[in-house]
A and B are shown apart, each in its own frame.
Chain A
């Protein structure tokens, strides 16, 4: 077992891990931050997406030790300090961008990374950026719409809610 230390959502944390311990396992089981979900074992579904040093990462595809010393952000750190949903989260609720909620943390983290890189993405750019995140409930319609709305674009013309 090896000691690992990192900053998660602004707080210093540490724990003992094996070499094979995945970052997603450390976040969920050691830190108890269960908002990061694990939906596959081949880094295909994106439910475990979080940010490491400002970049979106599939945390099931990274060892906890690789994140030693890193600055990590998870879904639990996305709302405002008073608990108010942030702009992206609020847009997901406003536009029904989630159903079962399992892929949602990964979707929000990916959307946040996208909007940081590209503050006003087109529909095609959003769809391409989301292609590493699977959702089985929404058919993506309202997720794409929510991200467009979160970026300040008019979504009134898009088919239906």
Chain B
């Protein structure tokens, strides 16, 4: 291993130094010479007909450059959706237009009506108040089931209804599933809500459009998890700018959690306006604006049924889910409740028959799309809740019931289209039990009781599909893009290396962990390797960072490119050593001839590549730079077992997390310190969902949780220290590093553990009629459940 850390070392993060000194460069820290500022006038009603927008007074205000409305975008494309679902009848989903600025109607609070560009933000904001938008307010629809009723207000007049699609999976299995239910010894049913959330990265979104008139080139600086994807979507579908005339830069980005995957109207606006005005245009979201314009997450209403035979084996699973799409289809929205949710319903269990139905619904709310885990937390939550409820109904130990039904042989083909390559669910459960001291629970319960508190223990498993995804497969499933990754490895004459990757780090630490891999492969110090990301001018293409894919897909591309570098370097070394290429070995940064003491150093070879005086010019070109594209041939399947212990105050209903333990299997691990941190953050977001967070609309479509005054983010004093372990490792069989990805696991695995624990506490206290409480388990909800 390199002295400063190769694969498996807890190398400290190099990017921390600039962040800790306040010298990070986030998008809002950038300013372009002569830039103007845009302020968006947004709809304050959820649904209305836009009769007129009078901008004349605003345009005459001091400092105002120009006021844009929907009419300015009539010749421009709309914001595209990147995934098309085919429903259970073989019909494609209903796909509404999504203009950059509202045209004809406003469809959610926050829908942009007009944009004021001015010399200062203050001038733009002042002028926006002078715009007169005449909106005929229409009845709004927020509730998904109401939206599907005849006579419901229609979000889009040109669609047949508010139903985006009605998806059945696997439709051919439905009859067999129904038959298994008819023959079941026991059926457990649960209705539940997966609460609507807002991702809330701490950095609000920012976009700066810039236009170089001399060259005719546009540049967009944006807070994105995937600048190449934004270049593709905005360039090809909205503004008609070819890739070679459009550069997208995502510099330091302050967290994403999914919400910065998508192409947003504000990005297209700033790029468009910069060209129209020949002047840079900057937009910085306020947090209030973020709440009503960032894509939201989750928002599923589900009925799940589990069938068991007389020996408590799971025989079938059936679910029906309503999934909120919001007012428009965000970039990946249709894929979340379908292919990222239905395919996960087998979980860790060998249930032979599964049928999943999902009705995706338009409502007068902000678009809903992927948020950390995206579909997989929704799958894991309902499955692990219904298994827990079944154990309680059958009077069996919930851990034993899970163990009895575990998949134990791999590869395992599920009845929901995916094949798990590796896993060891027994091992992670064993590890979890070792971590949580179950035998000591009764004593802890008694101690809580002494203080007048209830105590409960919740356990669950999870599996996720990540390392997204094989392009040929997702193409068949409706994706309108490939999901490979690229990397270019540029070796300089003196041996230093720059890796340009399409993966993007917005907190994941790629600048530290990616060099660990390259350094290990070559046997040089990691400090000789630099990572460049977040700029379409560098890596040739990039699908970006989401779905826990960076190391599994982006890392694999980097490995493949580095392998090409090593192969070429060996040819050069063979020439320098006057030996056969087949005899050249690379170890610790030295190329040597097998069985001899002849060797040349890494730096000698790289220098020869650029100063080719003594060089095999007939066989290889000078220079040392290679590019690879890596397209995975399967998803990866991290898995684990989580446990949560809670105390409940019976007087107030307040839940306190007493301990939280996570035993994960991520396959091989590059930097265990970073992996631990990813799991901590995921758990915190999962506990946030379970206990605190909810995005709430009233029946008129007003967003009641429009700021941090109303939306309860987890704070330091809401959370404990977590015990995390990833020593159970079943390496992925189909990528070169054997890695599975760890970014979403915590958020997927933790909500059911918390809810299972609270129900357990109430059951132990004799509240046997409480079998479920919907998230978030706020004091009022828990108290009401206890006192119903």
Task: Please tell me which stretch of B8-16, B109-117, B584-592 contacts chain A, meaning at least 4 of its Cβ atoms lie within 8 angstroms of it.
Answer: B8-16
Q: Nearest CB to that of B713 among chain A residues?
A: A134
CB–CB A100/B253 < 8 A: yes
CB–CB A139/B680 < 8 A: yes
- Which residues of B665-698 are within 8 A (CB) of A? 672-674, 676-677, 680-685
Q: Using A127-B717, A161-B673 as known contacts, say yes or no to A42 and B708 having CB atoms under 8 A apart.
A: yes
B139 on the interface (CB 8 Å rule)? no
- Which residues of A86-121 are within 8 A (CB) of B? 89, 92-94, 96, 98-105, 108
Interface string of A36-47 (1 = CB under 8 A from B): 111111101101
Chain A nearest CB, measured from B390 CB (Å): 31
CB–CB B707/A96 < 8 A: no
CB–CB B22/A102 < 8 A: no
CB–CB A130/B715 < 8 A: yes
Interface string of B197-209 (1 = CB under 8 A from A): 0001111100000
B254 on the interface (CB 8 Å rule)? yes
B716 on the interface (CB 8 Å rule)? yes
- Which residues of A115-136 are within 8 A (CB) of B? 123-124, 126-128, 130-131, 133-136
Q: Using A45-B708, A85-B20, A98-B16 as known contacts, say yes or no to A144 and B721 having CB atoms under 8 A apart.
A: yes
Q: Nearest CB to that of A134 among chain B residues?
A: B713
One of B29, B719, B724 near A140 (C-beta < 8 A)? B719
Interface string of B548-590 (1 = CB under 8 A from A): 0000000000000000000000000000000000000000000
- Which residues of A137-161 are within 8 A (CB) of B? 137-145, 158-161
Question: How far, in whole Å, are A98 and B507 apart by their CA atoms in the complex?
Answer: 8
CB–CB B506/A133 < 8 A: no
CB–CB A39/B202 < 8 A: yes
One of A20, A44, A161 near B672 (C-beta < 8 A)? A161
Question: How far, in whole Å, are A75 and B17 apart by their CA atoms in the complex?
Answer: 12
| Residues of A close to B17: CB separation below 8 A | 85, 93
Q: Using A96-B676, A101-B252 as known contacts, say yes or no to A136 and B200 having CB atoms under 8 A apart.
A: yes
B783 on the interface (CB 8 Å rule)? no
CB–CB A42/B721 < 8 A: no
- Which residues of B135-171 are within 8 A (CB) of A? none
CB–CB B255/A136 < 8 A: yes
| Residues of B close to A78: CB separation below 8 A | 21-22
A18 on the interface (CB 8 Å rule)? yes
B237 on the interface (CB 8 Å rule)? no
B52 on the interface (CB 8 Å rule)? no
A79 on the interface (CB 8 Å rule)? yes
Chain B nearest CB, measured from A107 CB (Å): 10
CB–CB A35/B10 < 8 A: no
Q: Nearest CB to that of A103 among chain B residues?
A: B202
CB–CB A131/B201 < 8 A: no
Q: Nearest CB to that of A104 among chain B residues?
A: B19
A56 on the interface (CB 8 Å rule)? no
Chain B nearest CB, measured from A143 CB (Å): 7
Chain A nearest CB, measured from B683 CB (Å): 6
| Residues of A close to B286: CB separation below 8 A | 40-41
- Please report the total number of B residues contacting A with Cβ < 8 Å: 61
CB–CB A138/B21 < 8 A: no
A6 on the interface (CB 8 Å rule)? no
B339 on the interface (CB 8 Å rule)? no
| Residues of B close to A138: CB separation below 8 A | 677, 680-681, 684
Question: How far, in whole Å, are A99 and B253 apart by their CA atoms in the complex?
Answer: 10
Chief secondary structure at chain A's binding surface: loop
| Residues of B close to A83: CB separation below 8 A | 21
| Residues of A close to B10: CB separation below 8 A | 161
A74 on the interface (CB 8 Å rule)? yes
| Residues of A close to B721: CB separation below 8 A | 123, 141, 144-145, 158-159
Q: Nearest CB to that of B726 among chain A residues?
A: A160
Question: How far, in whole Å, are A96 and B712 apart by their CA atoms in the complex?
Answer: 25
Q: Using A140-B716, A160-B723 as known contacts, say yes or no to A37 and B707 having CB atoms under 8 A apart.
A: no
CB–CB A102/B722 < 8 A: no
Q: Using A41-B286, A74-B22, A85-B17 as known contacts, say yes or no to A141 and B680 having CB atoms under 8 A apart.
A: yes
CB–CB A128/B717 < 8 A: yes
| Residues of A close to B596: CB separation below 8 A | none
Q: Nearest CB to that of A109 among chain B residues?
A: B22
Chain A nearest CB, measured from B540 CB (Å): 26
Chain B nearest CB, measured from A59 CB (Å): 13
CB–CB B719/A139 < 8 A: yes
B779 on the interface (CB 8 Å rule)? no
Q: Using A134-B715, A161-B672 as known contacts, say yes or no to A76 and B22 having CB atoms under 8 A apart.
A: yes
B174 on the interface (CB 8 Å rule)? no
| Residues of B close to A62: CB separation below 8 A | none
B623 on the interface (CB 8 Å rule)? no
Among A35, A45, A160, the most chain B Cβ lie within 10 Å of the Cβ of A160
Q: Nearest CB to that of A39 among chain B residues?
A: B202
A33 on the interface (CB 8 Å rule)? yes
B279 on the interface (CB 8 Å rule)? no
CB–CB A41/B287 < 8 A: yes
Question: How far, in whole Å, are A143 and B719 apart by their CA atoms in the complex?
Answer: 12
Question: How far, in whole Å, are A152 and B721 apart by their CA atoms in the complex?
Answer: 19
- Which residues of B224-270 are within 8 A (CB) of A? 252-255, 257
CB–CB B19/A76 < 8 A: no
| Residues of B close to A47: CB separation below 8 A | 202
A7 on the interface (CB 8 Å rule)? no
A14 on the interface (CB 8 Å rule)? no
Chain A nearest CB, measured from B505 CB (Å): 9
B725 on the interface (CB 8 Å rule)? yes
One of B22, B122, B714 near A36 (C-beta < 8 A)? B22
Q: Using A34-B29, A104-B20, A139-B681 as known contacts, say yes or no to A99 and B255 having CB atoms under 8 A apart.
A: yes
Q: Using A40-B708, A76-B21, A101-B24 as known contacts, say yes or no to A137 and B717 having CB atoms under 8 A apart.
A: no
Q: Nearest CB to that of A101 among chain B residues?
A: B19
Q: Nearest CB to that of A35 among chain B residues?
A: B22
| Residues of B close to A108: CB separation below 8 A | 20
Question: How far, in whole Å, are A41 and B684 apart by their CA atoms in the complex?
Answer: 23
Q: Nearest CB to that of B24 among chain A residues?
A: A101
- Which residues of B492-521 are within 8 A (CB) of A? 506-509
| Residues of A close to B201: CB separation below 8 A | 100, 102, 136
One of B22, B255, B707, B719 near A137 (C-beta < 8 A)? B255
CB–CB B12/A130 < 8 A: no
Interface string of B279-314 (1 = CB under 8 A from A): 000000011100000000000000000000000000
Q: Using A41-B288, A100-B203 as known contacts, say yes or no to A160 and B676 having CB atoms under 8 A apart.
A: yes
CB–CB B20/A93 < 8 A: yes
B276 on the interface (CB 8 Å rule)? no
| Residues of A close to B707: CB separation below 8 A | 40-42, 44
Q: Nearest CB to that of B31 among chain A residues?
A: A29
A sample of 8 cross-chain residue pairs with beta-carbon separation below 8 angstroms, ordered by A number, consists of A34-B29, A75-B20, A93-B13, A96-B677, A102-B201, A135-B202, A136-B201, A139-B682
The 4 A-B pairs with the shortest beta carbon distances in the complex, nearest first, are A35-B22, A102-B254, A101-B19, A139-B684
- Apart from A100-B202, A143-B716, list 11 A-B contacts with CB within 8 A: A33-B22, A35-B21, A36-B22, A39-B203, A41-B286, A89-B20, A92-B20, A93-B20, A99-B508, A136-B202, A139-B680
State the A residues within 8 Å of B (CB): 18, 20, 28, 33-42, 44-45, 47, 74-76, 78-79, 83, 85, 89, 92-94, 96, 98-105, 108, 123-124, 126-128, 130-131, 133-145, 158-161
